[in-house]
Amino acid sequence: MFIGVLPGELVEVVLTEDDLVQEYYVEMMHQAKTKGNIYKGYIHNVDSALQAAFINYGAERNGFLQIDEVHPEYYQGSYPLKKGARFPLIQKVLKSGQEVLVQVVKEPTGKKGAFLSSYLSLPGRYFVYTLGRDQQGVSRKIEDEKERERLKGVIDQISPPEGVGLIVRTAGIGRAKTELTRDYKYLHRLWGDIKKKVQVEKAPSLVYKEMELSVRAARDYLTSDVSEVWVDDPDTAAQIREYVALAFPKSPNMVKVHTEHDRTLWERFGLTRQVEQIYSREVTLPSGGRLVFDHTEALTSVDINSGKIGGEQSFAKMALKTNTEAAQEIARQLKLRDIGGQVVIDYIEMKDQKHLREVEKTMRQALKSDRARTDVSGISPFGLMELVRQRLGSSAISVSTEPCPCCGGTGIRRNLEWQALQAMKSIHRLLRRPNCPSPLQFPVRQELAIYMLNNKRELLTEMGSRVDCRVEIVVDPKLP
């Protein structure tokens, strides 16, 4: 694990395996994440068509609370269910102005506000402490049946109170009952402190703030598989050492500080190029094929392009090899880029059913190491695979990029000839006005000015001479 810090401004976390970057997280302090934060808010309005309430919790945009995320303790009055309905009509049980305790489960994106839930959860080192659901269980990623039974037994012995659930995280594997109990007691005290704050704070207000990324990374990502933690900030390293001393008492020297001034932590361990690739639209595969990622409002598409192609026999082998490599790399890129929502993958055509099943198996196996929940379909007759992935937070791309001012985020723009012709149309219109000033100065950006003076000078002169007006193309540095 590598943690890069610009104190008070930026935190970056990189997780590697065999010198290959597997996960990358970034947090800029001026737009720090809100996912996991708990707020005391109030209902701004109830939308019966959406069966949701909009919550004022102190953010720029109201949050979105669907009826299935409303705990029954907030229901007001009677709420008879219609036949076949799982939940009552939201307009019958919630009222504008009503106070509610909510947690951000999905960051606001674009023009959409945050998704909220009144079912709260507090993540610890070994447990997730849940409120409002009496669910006791063990993470599905813990597959050993004996260990699962042991951990369930520990939960039974802890015996959390009614309304409190406990879910064992993967970090709880092999941990003694005393360690697990200590984590539970910490979370129980934390919830008690939150309840006290709720009593005195007025809505809207923040009552619980999730840890910043550097400490959160130690809590969530440090497992026995991690051999070293490199940090380039001494103060952050000291914080993480305190945590490691409790979680890994037998590994006191796990945390190391990068002190070199002539190269960055990323440069020292050869991470710079791999991290920068996250922002690239294309990824090259070992066989020479390419992955092309495109993001739209609705979904992310991944197109797989082949390398060199031989005869018909070699085409089938090439398709299988490229698609198999692609499945493994796509699973890695989904984690790296934290791509959430619907993803559609366009594989190279394969006719052999065994090859189709092999690629599907490869994808499912590769996704097992993903911390996010995923749901994968088979490959359709059209060569498409659909999957849905849980978004864990704000991706590096979303927090560190913005739409291009020239193309508006489309990735394309009108060519210079088209732009020049549109400018000429505007000039032609201005020249036809009565009392046109001479010279007529027409502002454009520098690149377009050079193009027009090199390619349209004669036409500009001719247009001006018709109305006895000189046309001047001037550079405006403010134009995109």
Tell me the residue type at 368. Answer: K
Q: Could you read off the pLDDT of 199-227 as tens digits, one per residue? A: 999 999 999 999 888 888 888 888 777 88
**What burial letters (b/e) apply to 284-307, b meaning 16+ CB within 10 Å?**
ebeeebbbebebeeeebbbbbebe
23 with 14: CB under 8 angstroms? Answer: yes
Alpha carbons 86 and 79: distance in angstroms, whole number: 11
190: helix, strand or coil: helix
Torsion of CA 276, 278, 281, 284, to 10 degrees: 90
- Please state the separation of Cα 166 from the chain's center in Å: 26
Cis before residue 437, ω within 30 degrees of 0? no
Q: Name the one residue in this structure whose structure tokens are 């701004």.
A: 44
Among the ranges given (110-119, 256-265, 306-315, 329-338), the one the predictor scored with the smallest mean pLDDT: 306-315
Alpha carbons 27 and 398: distance in angstroms, whole number: 11
Tell me the residue type at 404. Answer: C
Higher pLDDT pick, 212 / 82? 212
Which whole number is the average pLDDT over 251-277?
90
Distances (CA, A) of 197 to 105, 133, 187, 194, 311: 21, 22, 15, 5, 71
463 with 443: CB under 8 angstroms? Answer: no
Provide the phi-psi class of 12: left if phi over 0, else alpha when psi is between -120 and 50, else beta: beta
Query: Does 249 have pLDDT greater than 80?
Result: no
Alpha carbons 25 and 1: distance in angstroms, whole number: 11
Alpha carbons 103 and 6: distance in angstroms, whole number: 28
DSSP character at residue 384: E
Whose CA is closest to 205, among 216, 215, 221, 194?
Answer: 194
Higher pLDDT pick, 9 / 146? 146
Among the ranges given (33-47, 49-63, 402-416), the one the predictor scored with the smallest mean pLDDT: 402-416
pLDDT of residue 309: 61
Higher pLDDT pick, 109 / 101? 101
248 with 254: CB under 8 angstroms? Answer: yes
pLDDT of residue 171: 87
| pLDDT band at 193; cut points 50, 70, 90 | very high
Contacts with 85 (C-beta within 8 Å, 6 or more apart), sequence order: none
148: helix, strand or coil: helix
Contacts with 389 (C-beta within 8 Å, 6 or more apart), sequence order: 334, 339, 340, 341, 343, 370, 372, 373, 374
248: helix, strand or coil: coil
Backbone angles phi, psi at 16, to 5 degrees: -120, 160
pLDDT of residue 132: 83
pLDDT of residue 411: 77
Structure tokens belonging to residue 87: 């939940």
Percent of the chain with pLDDT over 90: 63
Cis before residue 286, ω within 30 degrees of 0? no
Residue 372: Cβ-neighbour burial (10 angstroms; 0-12, 13-18, 19+): middle
Q: How far apart are the first and last CA of the chain?
A: 40
pTM of this structure: 0.74
Tell me the residue type at 257. Answer: V
Q: Could you read off the pLDDT of 334-359 as tens digits, one per residue? A: 999 999 999 999 999 999 999 999 99
Length of the chain counted residue by residue: 480
Contacts with 58 (C-beta within 8 Å, 6 or more apart), sequence order: 39, 41, 204, 205, 206
Query: Does 251 have pLDDT greater than 80?
Result: no
Which whole number is the average pLDDT over 400-409?
77
| pLDDT band at 333; cut points 50, 70, 90 | very high
- Other CB atoms within 10 Å distance of the CB of residue 20: 8
Query: Does 369 have pLDDT greater than 60?
Result: yes
Higher pLDDT pick, 443 / 81? 443
Cα 269-372-193 angle, rounded to 5 deg: 95
User: What average pLDDT does the chain have?
Assistant: 90
pLDDT of residue 310: 56
pLDDT of residue 311: 52
Contacts with 60 (C-beta within 8 Å, 6 or more apart), sequence order: none
| pLDDT band at 111; cut points 50, 70, 90 | confident
Distances (CA, A) of 79 to 75, 85, 96: 8, 11, 17
| pLDDT band at 428; cut points 50, 70, 90 | very high
339 with 333: CB under 8 angstroms? Answer: yes
Q: Domains (ranges, CATH) in the chain?
A: 2-32+211-272 (3.30.420), 38-117 (2.40.50.140), 123-185 (no CATH), 279-396 (no CATH), 416-475 (no CATH)
| pLDDT band at 14; cut points 50, 70, 90 | very high
pLDDT of residue 455: 95
pLDDT of residue 312: 52
Q: Could you read off the pLDDT of 459-476 as tens digits, one per residue? A: 999 999 999 999 999 999
Alpha carbons 460 and 456: distance in angstroms, whole number: 6
pLDDT of residue 313: 53
